[in-house]
Amino acid sequence: MKKRTILSFVGISGALAVGLGAFGAHALKEILAQNGYTEVFKTANQYHFYHTFALAFIALLPQPEQYKWATYSFIVGIVLFSGSLYVLSVSKIGILGAITPFGGVFFIAGWLILCFKAFLKR
């Protein structure tokens, strides 16, 4: 994946993370508190940010295309992990909690891919 493509995703993902965080803290504050999902929403937002920053880091590496599988893993992780928690926290559809661990696996895979690439690079 090209640097420009990754940075475009970083911009969109970062803007969404800020917007969703603000929306959760203000417009959804009462709903999340009533549902007992405030912490779930916060967790979704934190991991969304962490992995947006990870994607920015990859984009700034000398040859980001060498880390395409880590990039894809982080993107899928954001969608599955954070996305499922965002929707769960406002909808109370409990089955969405079953999707969240798959997103976590993609996050872990992304970090491990970065690690292996670093050791394989000569």
0.85 surpassed by pTM = yes
pLDDT band at 120 (very low <50, low <70, confident <90, very high): confident
Q: Where do the structural domains in the chain lie, given as residue ranges?
A: 3-120
Over the stretch 17-63, which tens digit does the pLDDT of each residue have? 999 999 999 999 999 999 899 999 999 999 999 999 999 999 999 99
Burial (CB count within 10 angstroms: exposed 0-12, middle 13-18, buried 19+), residue 62: exposed
**Residue 36: left (phi > 0), alpha (psi -120 to 50), or beta?**
left
Flag whether pLDDT at 122 surpasses 70. no
Over the stretch 83-105, which tens digit does the pLDDT of each residue have? 999 999 999 999 999 999 999 99
Judge whether 59 and 10 are in contact, CB under 8 Å. Answer: yes
